[in-house]
C-alpha cells in the first residue's frame, strides 16, 4: 500500500466514524479510476446508511473534520435509494446537476460489485442521457477534460480518467 492509499484509507475511516453506523462505503472518482493525487485530487466518497439519517447533524460533524486532501465530496444515500436521490451532498448541498450522481453511480455499479447490493441501479439509458448532459454542461463552461470524458463514453461506451482525457 502506498502512502497516499494509507492516508486515504485512514481518512475514509474517520469520515465513517464521524457519520456513525453505515451499511456501505465506496471511494469513487480518481481513487477508483486511477490518477489519484493527494495534493490535487478530491476524495469522492459515497456512504450508504439506514434511515433515519440526520443530514444537518452529519454536516455539522463533517465541518469539524480536517481534510488532508484538496476537498471531500461526500454523498450519503439511504439503503435502496436510486441515485440521484441522496440524503446529503457534502459540502455542496442540493443544486448540483443530477447527472453527476447518475454518472458516479453508473461507474460504481460497473466496477464495484457491492454497489448493487445496497443501491438501485441506473440504466444504460439514464447513463447515456447523463453523459449527454455532462457534455453540454462542459462545453458551455469550457471544461475540456469533462467534455472529452463524456465524448469518449458516448462514442466508446467506457469511462476514461481525467489524465487520459487531457
Decide if 120 is inside a domain. no
Decide if 138 is inside a domain. no
User: How many independent structural domains does the chain possess?
Assistant: 1
CATH of the domain at 75: 3.30.460
Decide if 105 is inside a domain. no
Asked if the model's pLDDT at residue 83 lies above 80, the reply is: yes
pLDDT in tens, 144-161: 999 999 999 999 999 888
Q: What is the 3-state secondary structure (H, E, C) of the chain?
A: CCHHHHHHHHHHHHHHHHHCCCCEEEECCHHHHCCCCCCCCEEEEEEEECCCCCHHHHHHHHHCCCCCCCEEEEEEEECCCCCCCCCEEECCCCCCCHHHHHHHHHHHHHHCCCHHHHCCCCCHHHHHHHHHHHHHHHHHHCCHHHHHHHHHHHHHCCCCCHHHHC
Decide if 126 is inside a domain. no
The whole-number pLDDT of residue 30 equals 84
pLDDT higher at 46 or 35? 46
Decide if 101 is inside a domain. no
Expressed as residue numbers, the domain containing 33 is 3-96
The whole-number pLDDT of residue 103 equals 96
The whole-number pLDDT of residue 2 equals 82
Decide if 107 is inside a domain. no
pTM of the model: 0.92
The whole-number pLDDT of residue 52 equals 86
Decide if 51 is inside a domain. yes
Amino acid at each position: 500500500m502506498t502512502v497516499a492509499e494509507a492516508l486515504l484509507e485512514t481518512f475514509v475511516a474517520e469520515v465513517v466514524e464521524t457519520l456513525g453506523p453505515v451499511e456501505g462505503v465506496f471511494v469513487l472518482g480518481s481513487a477508483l479510476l486511477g490518477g489519484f493525487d493527494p495534493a490535487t485530487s478530491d476524495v469522492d466518497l459515497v456512504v450508504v446508511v439506514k434511515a433515519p439519517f440526520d443530514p444537518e447533524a452529519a454536516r455539522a460533524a463533517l465541518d469539524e473534520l480536517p481534510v488532508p486532501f484538496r476537498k471531500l465530496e461526500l454523498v450519503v444515500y439511504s439503503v435502496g435509494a436510486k441515485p440521484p436521490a441522496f440524503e446529503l451532498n457534502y459540502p455542496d448541498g442540493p443544486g448540483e446537476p443530477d447527472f453527476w450522481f447518475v454518472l458516479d453511480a453508473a461507474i460504481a455499479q460497473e466496477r464495484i460489485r457491492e454497489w448493487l447490493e445496497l443501491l438501485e441501479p441506473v440504466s444504460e439509458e439514464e447513463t447515456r442521457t447523463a453523459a449527454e448532459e455532462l457534455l453540454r454542461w462542459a462545453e458551455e463552461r469550457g471544461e475540456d477534460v469533462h467534455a472529452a470524458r463524456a465524448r469518449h463514453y458516448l462514442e466508446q461506451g467506457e469511462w476514461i480518467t481525467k489524465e487520459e482525457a487531457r
